[in-house]
Structure 1
Amino acid sequence: MRRMVNLITVLAVIVGFWGILYLIGGAYREEKEEGLQIDFFVALWRTKRFVDFIDRVGTRFRTFWKGYSTLAIGLGFVGMAYVFYTLFSLALQNLRTKVATPGVQLVIPGVTIPLWYGLIGLIVVMFVHELSHGFVARAENLPLKSVGLVLFFVIPGAFVEPDEEALNKAPLLSRLRVYAAGSMGNIVTAIVALLLLSFVLTPIIQPAGVEVSNLAESGPARDYLQKGDIIIGINGHEIKTVEEFFDIMNKTIAGQIIEVELLRNGNKLKFTIPLGSHPDNPEKGYLGVYPAQHIISKVGFDNIVLPVSFSLYWIYMLNLGIGLMNLFPIVPLDGGKMLDDSLKAFLPSRVAKSITYLFIGIGIFLLAVNLFPALKGLLG
């Protein structure tokens, strides 16, 4: 119920923001080569200021960008098949079982992902993706009309706008290079972020307890613990990792009284808590805590090391997930454009269109089935 109220509040704020934006920017609804354009829950800002920069980088390193984007084509078709197969398999699983697993997660900063780290990750995703498109377009001698920012409802984005007529007339290989470059940039960025996490930051951080990320409404912990508490011990056993927390809780029984030691705002506290019955197993003990791993830096400077670590984690997660999802073979995603242009190049127009529409139909169905559990979980 509380989650539903929070969601309604968020939606009301968003709708109010767009209402004010329409009142302020109502005069900017006509399409312009530069400046602000506002439409139904879509705000576009175009500029030509960075076109020269993209042109210099794309043309100066033309050989690199052509090799990079040619490799991206192969990776793009492999990723396309992987994403389609994965969503197809998960959709079958969700249709066959009562317990559905989300195959597509909603990316909403502050709701489904952390606000600031999520925004940092999304900003990196959009700039890497669009710059890759732009660099490769210029390496292929395709002109750019503008670059800009876009806000679609609550989802921010960036874009590089090539000349559509020139792009449509370009050879198939050039178009495939441009389409595939965006996801390639995201996947490369995800790999770089993962390497930095694994070999630079992970060696200097360590687990230091279990953070209470949320509390179940029916759990006994709600009367004692608070969000943000760090559990460091249960019944005299030191707790450093989420795995140790679950190992101890899995051995408890309903009605058992446990002693929980924790840190709250730097102060050490102890609570004696009678356990409830676990929803999935009435005989098993239930605390009603949603645990998250708490970490600290081995070298100090927690206020620098930890934010950098969390930022890199979300840069990795969002670039990998969105980069792969963009290869899903439905138009207007890049994967759909790659598939559509390839089919048109080798098959009669009518057959190519039929196959494209078939993939769009199947793709929308797969997205709906895989997205439904996430929506259900969000609405409570």
Structure 2
Amino acid sequence: MYMDLPPWILIALILVGAWAVLVALNKRGTLSKHNLEVSGPLLLWRTNYGKGTIRFIAHRFRPLWKKVGVICIVISTVTMVFTAVMIIAQAILIIRTPEVIPPDVGAGEMILLPGLALPLTYGLVALIIAIVVHEFSHGILSEAEGMNIKSLGLGVLVALPLAFVEPDEEGIKNASSRSKMKMFAAGPAANILVFVISFLVFTQILLPMFAPNAEGIGISETIEGFPAADAGMTGGEIITHVGESGVKGIEDFRGKMAEFSPGDVVEIQTNKDAYTIELGVHPDDPGRAFLGVHLFPVTEFYAGLMHPIGFILPQVGTMLPLLSPDFFGAGLVHRDVVLIALQLVFWVGLLNFWLGAINMLPAKPFDGGHLMGEYVKMLIQRLGSRDEKVANNISNWVSVLFILIYLGPILLIVMT
């Protein structure tokens, strides 16, 4: 009977069963003997290991971290504005033009954090790196600003790994707004820094090793019985010229081919050979000339990988294995190892970007919500009031607003 259930239901049943066992053990006090605790969907393991290292680094370079903290506030504030504008724009787009959502799209595909679409191995490694960087940075700035670390540890949110640094609550309460802002901003800013470093390594060091073997249009395969195959052209060649004209993209190639008619003889130059070919008749349009090849956009594909926007889209990461030696990186030594490094750097960069961006959502309990709360307190004080309840109420309502804006499109998809 259970074998007939969808895989996701089986996984959900296993997780619920495992969590029920953990909750029971937590109530009996069995988990606490091993510094474990179940809190809602969280399984936490607290430890003092690592506190000394964080404290040493924080106090050894304290003047530097205080200056770095100011930079973190700037970076995180810019990121918070970016995230807020992005989710507002997304919500407006979906409300005004709901037809932009394909009818078969899943709610998970609309969630701003694209981690749900990550490959298992690269995704897990990248997620661990992003979380450690995030929490370690929180810990250093917390200690540097006089908010001692109470504990740190590892955990699991349902099935996702996490790490945490827990500052002393009394220390946070007594700290200045500026100090708290530095601490809240440190984690996301560190993630954005890792993203920038990853992007530079990806585009300036690793990806150039996979530069196109020639500028033009790749032939993924030839079609039997048509001119290209009859002339001896094979998959893996790159068309660089049609007649005397160079070609760079698919549309460029199609434009050149549109100048010819069936029966015309044309010179086709590839990166491997030159061919004199009599063009055939297009099977779907007798009036069009036909070469008989399936094309791959070599130059355009590589340019897309180099574009900064592509570095934050998980769909781009899934296309990296398409860097075939037929078209890219001819003669590259240890190709498989370099390709693994390329993919790992991509996913590390992507995960750090989105972890930093989502954490700067101006809504509690995200870091951005806490940072926004401190900004509200400062604004209220400048207006002549020191009533923290007013500031807390405003920041809480802003948090509710942005959570609704964030979840609204997802709920709309689920309901429709």
Deviations 1:156-199 (A, max 9, x none): 11111111121121111111110000011101101111111111
Partner of 2:7: 9
Contact 1:239/1:245, CA 8 A, preserved across alignment: no
1:27 pairs, out of 20, 25, 28, with 25
Residue pairs, 1:1-380, within 5 angstroms: 8-23=6-21, 26-29=24-27, 35-97=35-97, 98-100=99-101, 104-108=111-115, 112-206=117-211, 232-235=220-223, 236=228, 292=319, 294-295=322-323, 296=325, 297-298=329-330, 299-347=332-380, 348-372=387-411
More divergent stretch after superposition (14-23 vs 125-134): 14-23
Q: Give the C-alpha shift of residue 141 in structure 1.
A: 2.3
Q: For 1:26 and 1:248, how far apart are their aligned partners in 2?
A: 66
Q: For 1:360 and 1:169, how far apart are their aligned partners in 2?
A: 24
Q: For 2:50 and 2:44, how far apart are their aligned partners in 1?
A: 16
Contact 1:18/1:41, CA 8 A, preserved across alignment: no
Deviations 1:33-87 (A, max 9, x none): 9621124432111111111111111111112211111111122222212211121
The secondary structure found in structure 2 opposite 1:330 is coil
Specify the structure having the higher radius of gyration (Cα).
Answer: 2
Matched residue type, 1:15: L
Q: For 2:91 and 2:343, how far apart are their aligned partners in 1?
A: 31
Q: For 1:150 and 1:103, how far apart are their aligned partners in 2?
A: 26
Give unpaired runs (5+ residues) of structure 1: 209-229, 263-290
Distance change (3 Å), C-alpha of 1:322 and 1:161: same
Contact 2:113/2:354, CA 8 A, preserved across alignment: no
Partner of 2:241: none
Matched residue type, 1:99: V
| Aligned alpha-carbon RMSD (Å) | 3.8
For these two proteins, the number of residue pairs brought into alignment is 322
Seq. identity, %: 25
Partner of 2:278: none
TM-score normalised according to structure 1 size: 0.73
Report the structure, 1 or 2, having the larger strand content: 1
Distance change (3 Å), C-alpha of 1:356 and 1:181: same
Deviations 1:113-140 (A, max 9, x none): 2111111111111000000000111111
Distance change (3 Å), C-alpha of 1:136 and 1:259: same
The secondary structure found in structure 2 opposite 1:38 is strand
Distance change (3 Å), C-alpha of 1:89 and 1:173: same
Q: For 2:42 and 2:5, how far apart are their aligned partners in 1?
A: 21
More divergent stretch after superposition (112-121 vs 7-16): 7-16
Distance change (3 Å), C-alpha of 1:160 and 1:233: same
Contact 1:90/1:103, CA 8 A, preserved across alignment: no
Partner of 2:298: none
Q: For 2:203 and 2:121, how far apart are their aligned partners in 1?
A: 22
The secondary structure found in structure 2 opposite 1:158 is strand
Distance change (3 Å), C-alpha of 1:301 and 1:152: same
Q: For 2:400 and 2:375, how far apart are their aligned partners in 1?
A: 18
Matched residue type, 1:354: N
Q: For 1:19 and 1:182, how far apart are their aligned partners in 2?
A: 34
Partner of 1:220: none
Q: For 1:245 and 1:7, how far apart are their aligned partners in 2?
A: 45
Matched residue type, 1:105: L
The secondary structure found in structure 1 opposite 2:112 is coil
Q: Give the C-alpha shift of residue 12 in structure 1.
A: 2.2
More divergent stretch after superposition (327-336 vs 140-149): 140-149
Contact 2:184/2:368, CA 8 A, preserved across alignment: yes
Q: Give the C-alpha shift of residue 231 in structure 1.
A: 8.1
Report the structure, 1 or 2, having the larger helix content: 2
Contact 2:177/2:374, CA 8 A, preserved across alignment: yes
TM-score normalised according to structure 2 size: 0.67
The secondary structure found in structure 2 opposite 1:105 is coil
Q: For 1:247 and 1:350, how far apart are their aligned partners in 2?
A: 63
Contact 2:22/2:38, CA 8 A, preserved across alignment: no
Contact 1:70/1:177, CA 8 A, preserved across alignment: yes
Q: Give the C-alpha shift of residue 369 in structure 1.
A: 3.0
